[in-house]
Structure 1
């Protein structure tokens, strides 16, 4: 349950103001058909985050526990710093609609999520918690919590949210995860 809750919270906060959330705004503005956009975001996120969690699980098998602890701890601290860097997206970037709204959303969202903060966080969370399904469900829910309102409410929501505060909270969570991982918290209780 901890893997699910942490994954949901961290990704929901990290996604606010992220380039994929900005992409959700752009897609909603361009296509004005929220339901296929939301389903497209869901499908792209599940596939992308499942692959990321699988990589995270694979990494745990490659490294010994001590090396993994250091890599993950430093990785979480790096995520804390990275989350404070604002993302941008080119609103003039073409999004072909020849495949339809759903397919265009799946393709563009999947590609935009490659190497994104939330994808890297999913790798780290899967490596940390060793629970692929709980992490994927949590990170997907976090993405949907941040992006569904972006699709339906649009850019008005972006101006109503204090992005620095939200990013600060997400960064603080990553710092706590990083320090706890470096200190070996959780190993004593079998996490």
Structure 2
């Protein structure tokens, strides 16, 4: 259960103000159909994080535990720094993406946009840290939904009301704390 809670919290915080949240706003403004967008986000996240989690779990079995501790600790600290760099979402969905429908467009765009993103890398690291791959994937997926569903349902109102700098600072602090704790040998 700890893997689920930590994964959910870390990803939910890291995702606020991320480019995928901005994509959710763009898709909502364009299509005005929240439920297919939400389902597309869920399906894309589940697929993307299942792949990332599987990679992390495989790495945990292949790498010496002492080395893995250092890799994870440094990874979490790097995530803390990365979160402090604001995302810029500059690409609007093209007119051609409409042929996939709202769900298909959302699924494809979210899956591709998450490739190499900080939450995907966090999923790899969390899956390497915790033995329960399913709880990590469930947690990171729920974290993505916690951050993105309000963006879809509330649209731009959410973006105007939240102080992104503070949320990024809190997320960075969480990753920094996890990284230091792992490096010091704590069982998180």
Secondary structure of 2:160's match?
Answer: helix
Match of 1:41 in 2: 41
Q: CA deviation at 1:99?
A: 1.1
How far, CA to CA, are the matches of 1:57 and 1:84 in structure 2? 27
- Unaligned runs of 5+ residues in structure 1 are none
- Unaligned runs of 5+ residues in structure 2 are none
How far, CA to CA, are the matches of 2:69 and 2:94 in structure 1? 42
Q: CA deviation at 1:141?
A: 0.5
Q: CA deviation at 1:91?
A: 4.6
Contact 1:54-1:123 at 8 Å conserved across structures: yes
Instruction: Note if 1:32 corresponds to 2:35.
Output: no
Residue-by-residue CA offset, 1:158-177 (whole Å, 9 max, x unaligned): 11001111111111110111
Regions of 4+ moved over 2 Å: none
Residue-by-residue CA offset, 1:143-187 (whole Å, 9 max, x unaligned): 00110010111122111001111111111110111011111111x
Which structure shows the higher helix fraction? 2
The within-5 A match list for 1:119-130 is 119-130=120-131
Match of 2:110 in 1: 109
Contact 1:27-1:37 at 8 Å conserved across structures: yes
Distance 1:159 1:91, change over 3 A: farther
Aligned length: 187
Q: CA deviation at 1:37?
A: 0.3
Secondary structure of 1:130's match?
Answer: coil
State the superposition RMSD in angstroms: 1.0
Secondary structure of 2:123's match?
Answer: helix
Residue-by-residue CA offset, 1:10-56 (whole Å, 9 max, x unaligned): 10000000011111011111111000000000000000001000000
Q: TM-score, normalised by structure 2?
A: 0.97
Match of 2:180 in 1: 179
